[in-house]
Amino acid sequence: MTCTSASEKPILGIETSCDETAVAVVAGGRRVVSSVIASQEQIHALFGGVVPEIASRQHTEILVSVTEQALQEASSTWSDLGGIAVTNGPGLIGSLLVGVSSAKAYHAATGLPLVGVNHLQAHVSANFADVCDIPLHEADLPAICLVVSGGHTDLMLLRQPTQYELLGMTRDDAAGEAFDKAARVLDLGYPGGPAVSQAAELGDPAAFAFPRPQVADTLDFSFSGLKTALIRQVQQLSPQKQGRPSAKHLDRQTVADLAAAFQAAAVDTLVRNSMEAVKQTGVARLAISGGVAANQLLRERLSHQCKLAGVAFHCPPLELCTDNAVMVAIAGYHMLRTREPDNLNLDVFSAMPR
Ligand code: KG4
Ligand code: ZN
């Protein structure tokens, strides 16, 4: 089924799966007309991580004004749009409910077709945006996609914009989760990923030898061993051996070295499995997405390895790696072209984590 109105008119995307309230208007499945992201980072930083109840309340307070701003910046009214796409999972249940309920209300009021988008598919779709250095096109597919976020570390084979096959996933912690936990152990604050990579800039990655865990005969990941190795190292270096491991007594250079060694090990693991997926499938195209894809070392290492292997490399700009609504609108565009809209049947429970 092809919904022509959706392909001609821009799609409004809504993202509220975690702690970013985001709304965007995207035309033709790639042209970013407007993108508004209201981050709750500063609120959750006080607690050292996302507090689900606070996150959903915050979405409730600001989603309407973020939507109005996105429409205003796009110089659009509801009648200019071809459809609405909203993340309906996986994510924090309360946060998802705010986005989905609002999208249903907008659908009921405007009659625009409405689709629910899987958050991981949305991350992958960021690579189609025209603001990417080298945007992915439908004709380029298949491609290998590494989705690395706070909740997921997945290697996928993307056959069509809406059709993918899982090649590998994490057996325990997600890569972003590991970065966040490392930042907590090193007393670097929240969100952990950017804090660890910033501290790592002054550090020596060879100062500590951390493991590069491998799950035999699969493309799966495991980060809990790396996290434990970091905790043990901090414990060993701390004068106080009991209680919660803390880097409070360590000097700045040691913390920087620990951050650099941790980052190098995590990035090595991600690069190794991604290039292995390219080799095993023979698909000479790799795209990355998700919050951890904003990591500079990961971007540089993958870009370099792809160049050496003659593999095309795609990565979204930083603001489209972390949670945003452009990616949701793009995924929604492709869904509206290929299937009936969900309209009021959207269900956040059916899209819960695997
Ligand atoms: O995709 P995202 O915004 O939200 C989820 O869907 O989870 O990803 C957030 C994750 C957090 O764990 C954060 O620490 C990590 O992405 N992250 C990074 C960097 N920027 C964000 N990890 C490593 N290096 C970064 N520069
Ligand atoms: Zn995400």
Closest ligand 1 atom to residue 321 Cα is: 1
Residue 29 pLDDT > 70: yes
Residue 138 to residues 133, 142, 348, Cα–Cα distance (Å): 16, 8, 28
- Asked if residue 262 has its Cβ within 6 Å of ligand 1, the reply is no
- 280 CA distance to ligand 2 middle (Å): 27
Alpha helices, H only, the chain: 4-8, 41-45, 52-73, 93-110, 119-125, 175-185, 192-200, 224-237, 252-281, 296-309, 318-321, 326-338
Share of the chain above pLDDT 90, in %: 82
Choose the residue to mutate in 16, 145, 149, 267 for probing ligand 1, maximizing ligand atoms within 8 Å of C-beta: 149
Q: What does the pLDDT look like over 277-336, one tens digit per residue?
A: 999 999 999 999 999 999 999 999 999 999 999 999 999 999 999 999 999 999 999 999
Q: How confident is the model at residue 68 (pLDDT cuts 50, 70, 90)?
A: very high
Q: How confident is the model at residue 197 (pLDDT cuts 50, 70, 90)?
A: very high
- Asked if residue 291 has its Cβ within 6 Å of ligand 1, the reply is yes
| 235: CB partners within 8 A, 6+ apart | 241, 245
Could you say which ligand is closest to the alpha carbon of residue 290? 1
Q: Domain 4-132+321-350: state its class.
A: alpha beta
Question: What pLDDT, on the 0 to 100 scale, is given for residue 4?
Answer: 42
Question: What pLDDT, on the 0 to 100 scale, is given for residue 41?
Answer: 85
User: CA-to-CA distance for 60 and 251, rounded, in angstroms?
Assistant: 42
Q: Domain 145-314: state its class.
A: alpha beta
- Asked if residue 295 has its Cβ within 6 Å of ligand 1, the reply is yes
Residue 172 pLDDT > 60: yes
Q: What does the pLDDT look like over 78-110, one tens digit per residue?
A: 999 999 999 999 999 999 999 999 999 999 999
- 123 CA distance to ligand 1 middle (Å): 12
Q: Give yes or no for a cis peptide into 90 (omega within 30° of 0).
A: yes
Question: What pLDDT, on the 0 to 100 scale, is given for residue 6?
Answer: 44
Choose the residue to mutate in 179, 188, 297, 319 for probing ligand 1, maximizing ligand atoms within 8 Å of C-beta: 179
User: CA-to-CA distance for 37 and 54, rounded, in angstroms?
Assistant: 17
Q: Tell me the residues surrounding ligand 2 (ion) with CB < 5 Å.
A: 149, 323
Question: What pLDDT, on the 0 to 100 scale, is given for residue 241?
Answer: 65
| Domain ranges across the chain | 4-132+321-350, 145-314
Average per-residue pLDDT in the chain?
93
Residue 3 pLDDT > 60: no
Angle at 36 between CA 321 and CA 64, to 5 degrees: 130
Residue 350 pLDDT > 70: no
Closest ligand 1 atom to residue 176 Cα is: 12
Question: What pLDDT, on the 0 to 100 scale, is given for residue 2?
Answer: 40
Q: Give the pair of three-digit tokens for residue 210.
A: 């951390």
Q: Which of 1-5, 27-31, 145-149 has the lowest mean pLDDT?
A: 1-5
SS3 187: coil
Q: Do domains 4-132+321-350 and 145-314 have the same CATH topology?
A: yes
Q: Name the closest-CA residue to atom 7, ligand 1.
A: 150
